[in-house]
Structure 1
Amino acid sequence: MSRLITTSGFLRVFRLTLAATLGTVLLSSCVATPSGSDAPGQSTGNAESNEGNGASENGNGRSPIATALTNAAVGGENLRFDIYSLERHSPEVLVLTMGVTNIGQSEARVFHTLSEFGDYGEEATSPSGVSLIDMQNHKRHMPLKLTDGKTCHCSNWKGQENLPPGESIEIWAAYPAPPENVELMAVMTPVTPDFLDIPITEAEAPDSSIVDMPVDKPRILDFWAFQDDINGGTSRSETGDTTSIMLSSDVLFELNESTLTDAADERLRAVAEEIDASSATTVQIDGHTDNTGNDSINNPLSLDRAKAVEKRLKELITRDGITFEVTGHGSTKPIADNETEEGRAKNRRVTITFAK
């Protein structure tokens, strides 16, 4: 069995894993599509139908194409998140419009939830942390920024920290548009389940004030699919054209040793078969340790383990024309907390990276 986490890098994996864990514990939520919408239905967590929950339209009478219901533990807010549209306003600019409605019986301190919408290091009163996922091209589109490189080209809800029962606020963000043949995107927010398969439509009245605003260089990130074997031993991450397989050193080697175990052979045979089937001409192998011990031990141990994996892969791979790049990093590139045994186990690894 495995679990799939989507992100644009390992720091994002940690952030989104944490957010997903908190969401499972703290939120009772669903994502759904109103009856009669062209968008396909979708559900996450405790899924419910929109029938009878008041999600057919917001406080201003607008009908959403997708909805997430959230009961947030912080402040006890009862909020509904609606997506109204994802529109092309020009060949270069896509605009996402969302609404947030207080479906509770008392005033909601909406700021406590919406503050999570901000991207790291940015003002917590804009949706700068909401991204669009192009599954077709394995890309993550971040909101456009103004020419100062800091300010999100999006709405700002500063001064709207409290939301009375039944009231709504509307938010929007501008994004670099995907290729013309992309018709659906996923919407990823830090406080709701992912909205899948949101249709892209053409704006009937493109907003020139949004389209003509000078902006910084668009941020379109490689979209990583990160799959972690819950039984331990193997994880993998993928971008559009690269595969990276992480093998636990605890499976490959005995403690403080660099001789491959019998169990390692089965794992490496599977990797070799995948490399044989790929277009790769170069295979990069990186050895890593936890921070136990010192550099004089960890650095050579990580290199020796990477070389042991290289040697066995050379024996298992059947096609010619492949070169290897081998590096030992010691404890300098952890992907988990070295203060816990679970984290140290994740950091003891050999990573094999190659083109698809």
Structure 2
Amino acid sequence: MLALSAVVTLAVVGCGVLPKKDAASPAASSAPAATASTARSLAETRSTMTENLKVEVVGLNRVKGKHLIAQIRLSNTGTEKHLSWAGEMGDHTRPLGEINWASGIGVLDARARTWLLPYQPVGSPCLCSGRDRDGLGPFIDPGQSITVYAVLPAPSGNPATTVVVTPVGPPMLNVPISDEALAGDFPDPDAEPVTPVTRRLILSSEYLDKSEETADDGKDLQVNLSADVLFAVDKATLTPKAKSVMDRTAQLIDASPATTVTVAGHADSSGNNAINDPLSLRRAQAVQHALSALLSRDGVRFQTEGYGSRRPLYSNDSDEGKRRNRRVTVTFPKPQPATREPAATTTAGATGLTGITKADGQPIAMEVTGLRRLPGGLGLLTYKITNEGSAKSWFRDLHHAQDWEAYKYQAATNVRMTDVAARRQYLPGRLEVPTDDGVDFYCACTDVSGVRISTEKFAPGQTREFWNLFALPDTADTLQVKIGPFRDLHVSIQ
């Protein structure tokens, strides 16, 4: 256990802090003066599904320079009895049997493009508070609060602030990290074998003519060039249309620190290996030769491969998935972001950032509440959906993503941002989750499935706030935003 000296004392029964119980300690026999209900809030958000569940960060401490202890206060601000917290605070990318814990508390290491979650010890879902553990219980009564904790890796680079994420509501930005000690004993990740639980964040965008799409993991840029644009059917000779695609890709390589570039050809599931393997290799070689001639700098080596149909990005069950799987993938270290001067932007509540549609006959309103630039080229879009009608309504248009995006569960994926001047469209970020069979992808956005399925059900007058993480172009100040069926909006980046 980590024995830590007092800065903030949080030792109410069920608060998630594990105080020492010795005869000399006043906390062992009486409640402390400072409790979970009086600790200062560093940041707060509201649950999208349960509007009366208030979520506050009341402690964020870096320990030994490499661990982070997060303390989250959960409050029932309404009149609903037995407000449940356990299933909502669990990491929804884990097995269902592990979600009744505070395993979904984490931080976004934006520069490393990594979602950091609590450590997982042997025989336990996480180093964190759990239902019926530490005297918590599964419910919060009206007007009451509990405080839960999680022990996780600290974000890279020793930042002064970070983005705190939970499964229930929009991320909390610029939360200060303290290097001071804090009261109570917490599980020490150095005292037992633990596994770091991380989710790599993949940010995708595509050129509007669908000639290429890119995936950026913060380290490498993977440019998937459409074989349908580059080549005629069953051919490996570049078409005239390929020239502009090759030019753009060569410029990206020139702007990167790349010394080695990998070029890999891929096919869809049509045909057989005897046809697909040599064709995919010849196509990769054709792209490599074209790029070599276009680069303006020396010292770049190429590696070419042909994988046939063995490495699909998307399901081959749809024509769109097959089209995207017919590709040549060029991978290299990502270019450095362009230097940009800060620019004045409109406020989050600027006139015109609204839209209206109907669901179940009821008027459904939308309002963009912010598009904020985060470190590492990330952007956070937040928006509110309100049922302005007189009867309840199910609004399901936020999760109608195209099948080729292949997210694990339903989420607010039906959102796009477009840099009109650059003719580039940005898709919601994906969290990469390793599995026994490979990887699954979950949306880095509001979840509307599982225990949160009623997120899409709105009572008359009810408002919910949703969010999405995207890549942001380095030089743009305004993007066109399309949210579900609502009209296009031009939103300034804050």
TM-score (norm 2): 0.53
Show the counterpart of 1:26.
none
Q: Which residue of 2 aligns with 1:334?
A: 312
Q: Residues 60, 118 of structure 1: CA spacing in aligned structure 2 closer, same or farther, 3 A cutoff?
A: farther
TM-aligned CA deviation for residue 138 of structure 1: 4.5
- How far residue 117 of structure 1 moved from its aligned partner, in angstroms, is 4.7
Q: 1:121 to 1:308 in 2, by over 3 A?
A: farther
TM-superposed deviation, 1:111: 4.2
TM-superposed deviation, 1:220? 7.6
The residue number in structure 2 matching 1:261 is 239
| Counterparts of residues 308-323 of structure 1 (less than 5 Å) | 308-323=286-301
**1:90 corresponds to 2:68:** no
2:130 paired with 1:153: no
What is the rounded CA distance, in whole Å, between the counterparts of 2:45 and 2:162 in structure 1? 16
Give the C-alpha shift of residue 267 in structure 1: 1.8
Structure 1 distance, partners of 2:226, 2:106, is 31
Distance 1:212 1:228, change over 3 A: closer
SS at match of 1:301: helix
How far apart, CA to CA, are the structure 2 residues paired with 1:355 and 1:261? 27
Q: Could you say what secondary structure the match of 2:130 adopts?
A: coil
**1:202, distance to aligned residue in structure 2 (A):** 2.5
> Which secondary structure state, in structure 2, belongs to the residue aligned with residue 343 of structure 1?
helix
Structure 1 counterpart of 2:232, which letter? Answer: E
Tell me which amino acid in the other structure corresponds to 1:92.
Answer: K
Q: CA deviation at 1:199?
A: 1.5
Listed as ranges, the matches of 1:1-356 within 5 Å are 60-72=37-49, 78-107=52-81, 108-117=83-92, 119-120=94-95, 123-146=98-121, 148=122, 151-158=125-132, 160-178=137-155, 181-205=158-182, 207-211=184-188, 214-216=191-193, 219=196, 223-229=200-206, 231=208, 232-356=210-334
Aligned CA distance change for structure 1 residues 169 and 62 (closer, same or farther; 3 Å): same
* Cα distance in 1 between the residues matched to 2:194 and 2:315: 34
C-alpha displacement of 1:324: 1.1
TM-score of the pair, normalised by structure 1: 0.71
More deviation, 282-291/210-219: 210-219
Query: C-alpha offsets along residues 139-194 of structure 1, whole Å, 9 cap, x if unaligned?
Result: 44332222x27541111124733433333332211112345642122223333222
Partner of 2:367: none
Q: Which has the higher strand share?
A: 2
Percent identity of paired positions between Structure 1 and Structure 2? 31
Q: 1:132, CA displacement in angstroms?
A: 1.9
Partner Cα distance (1:287, 1:120) in 2: 35
Q: Matched residues in 2 for 1:160 and 1:278: separation?
A: 52
Distance in 1 separating the partners of 2:194 and 2:36: 36
2:89–2:167 Cα contact (<8 Å) kept: no
In structure 2, runs of 5+ residues without a counterpart are 1-34, 335-494
Measured after TM superposition, the shift of residue 221 of structure 1 is 5.5
Q: Which amino acid aligns with 2:64?
A: S
Structure 1 portions without partners, runs of 5+: 1-57
| Larger gyration radius, structure 1 or structure 2 | 2
Q: Is the 8 A contact 1:117 1:126 kept in 2?
A: no
Aligned residues: 295
SS in 1 for 2:254: helix
1:299 deviation in Å? Answer: 2.4
Q: What displacement does 1:240 show? A: 4.4
Question: Considering only aligned residues, what root-mean-square deviation do their CA atoms show, in Å?
Answer: 3.1
Which has a greater percent of helix?
1
Residue 116 of structure 1 deviates from its aligned partner by: 4.5
Letter in 2 for 1:96: A
Q: Cα gap change, 1:154/1:59 in structure 2, threshold over 3 Å: closer, same or farther? A: closer
Question: Quick one: distance in 1 between partners of 2:64 and 2:183?
Answer: 7
Partner of 1:27: none
Residue 316 of structure 1, CA deviation: 0.9
1:87 offset after TM fit, Å? 0.9
